[in-house]
Chain A
């Protein structure tokens, strides 16, 4: 299934059956083997070609971040840094404020992911384990939030945040995203999979709802929690429109908006722009390598039935 996709399939072991084979057959088999080997080679060439095309923009970005602006403008272009210079990175890190932007992104993303997990867990628990009037209506209200793109609400949200005194602050950056209809839905589905008997047994043991939620339901729903964490992490980390309009200086700007600033600097510092891009992309690349499995599950949640 989804989670196994990066492992790939290993080559099948072909059982070799020793039979008496005529000389003609032997020639035919040899021919077929040759053809198969050629087709395998063609497949590898095709795969490598596709991989090269996809990786090229990333590769050239890394190369350019290690060159001087003059070398970058050289024609024909240099596709390998013979004498790499690392100055662009320190320029982007300090003068380009990338260290500050990185910290802001980490803080805001942490607030949003934590907030979404807490609010979604509580809401999902209520929908899955508790009985109360208007439950179905309220669930529809949660789902209705999925129909409203954030861009539609941005005008009044800006006014609201300004009025709350949260313009250009972490609170302003995170507040609108502290709840998630999608997350509540995802976790409710997971909680519904928790056997009812467990709830009854826990109640006999004197577990209240809170204790049951934290000790039993949440641990059992771990895969869905991880999927939600990845999903909300990517959403928060990659945000662009909201941080752009709700911040006004580098103190609260996030990485994505920081890149916008970095790009705006002059072309004779284009190597700094490239270094900034690498700095901005690196955290995600590292996390994706570590959490590949959760990532695939998070991204495909709801995409594939079963």
Chain B
């Protein structure tokens, strides 16, 4: 069907007959008709997706830049004032944004590497021949059944100073952990790591199991010690999986919202005010201009992150067969 009209008409026609496209040779007109019909069907099949994407992805994406040019009036009802790039400059250089940006990065650094390392550890531990290992695997992957909200409400209640378990364990902070500027972000990070552990374990396990047994056995025969084997053989072969987990994990970390909303509401004193929560707050305060600038920043950071990670990591990742 991809064949263009070539000099050897006879050949093409033969092919077309074989494809059941046209009944007789030489009827290129009907063939062209066919192609036009096929193109029409193609567009028709793409239409629903394209409609949704235009309305709910591309239009709002570009609208952000536009909204950022207008300052939202202090009182509703007044017209928004065009301020050009002023609002971008103002918001992006403010302490509020700098803080939010730093909090987001610290949160990603707290959750992503730890999540990958713990997932890998669990996968290594569960990847051995023992009776009943299946039950352990099920338990290790169990937190995929929890949503962000489920995990946050569980941890929020367990960390509560009145009904929680920390005081009983002798771990008291003043103010309580989720209201403590020093520890609040850490507590949110622990909740997140726990919630993601099941997913991390599943991803790392499939990566491990994709490594052919012969390779591991060969190194065993060679007498490589377990530690050397891990660093020299397993980890390099696992690097595509780790790379994937790193990229996706970072992007997800930059979109963290539910945990913050349920555990700290961005507080205390903006110490957990991640970018997405800042967008939500601006939107709740009906300050669309500011929210739009923050959204553009979030997009920029995500884009930068993805490209940078691709560049830096892809060179070191082992994609061998």
Contacts and interface: CB of A to CB of B under 8 A. Distances in A.
A55 B138 CA distance: 11
Contacts of B43: 126, 132
B299 A156 contact: no
Contacts of A125: 45
Given A9-B133, A152-B64, A200-B18, A256 B148 contact: yes
Interface stretch (B73-81, B90-98, B121-129): B121-129
Contacts of B240: 304-305
B25 interface: no
A151 B276 contact: yes
Contact of B276 (A135, A241, A302): A241
A288 B136 CA distance: 15
Contact of B57 (A11, A46, A148, A299): A148
Contacts of B295: 151-155
B215 interface: no
Nearest to A133: B39
Residue in B49, B51, B52, B63 with the greatest tally of chain A CB atoms within 10 Å: B49
B129 A12 contact: yes
Contacts of B205: 5
Contacts of A259: 149-150, 153, 262
Chain B binding surface, main DSSP class: helix
Interface string B245-262: 100000100110110011
Contact of A303 (B1, B130, B206): B206
A42 to B, nearest CB: 11
A47 B127 CA distance: 11
B185 interface: no
Interface of A: 1-2, 4-12, 40, 43-44, 46-47, 50-51, 54-55, 57-58, 60-61, 64, 69, 72-73, 75-77, 118-120, 122-123, 125-126, 130-133, 135, 138, 141-142, 145, 147-158, 160, 175-176, 178-181, 184, 200, 203-204, 206, 209, 234, 237-238, 240-241, 244-245, 255-257, 259-260, 262-263, 267, 270, 273-274, 276-277, 280-281, 284-285, 288, 295-296, 299-300, 302-306
Given A76-B168, A179-B49, 17 more contacts: A1-B209, A61-B154, A77-B165, A118-B48, A138-B50, A147-B306, A153-B57, A153-B64, A153-B295, A160-B59, A181-B49, A204-B20, A256-B258, A267-B162, A273-B157, A280-B149, A284-B147
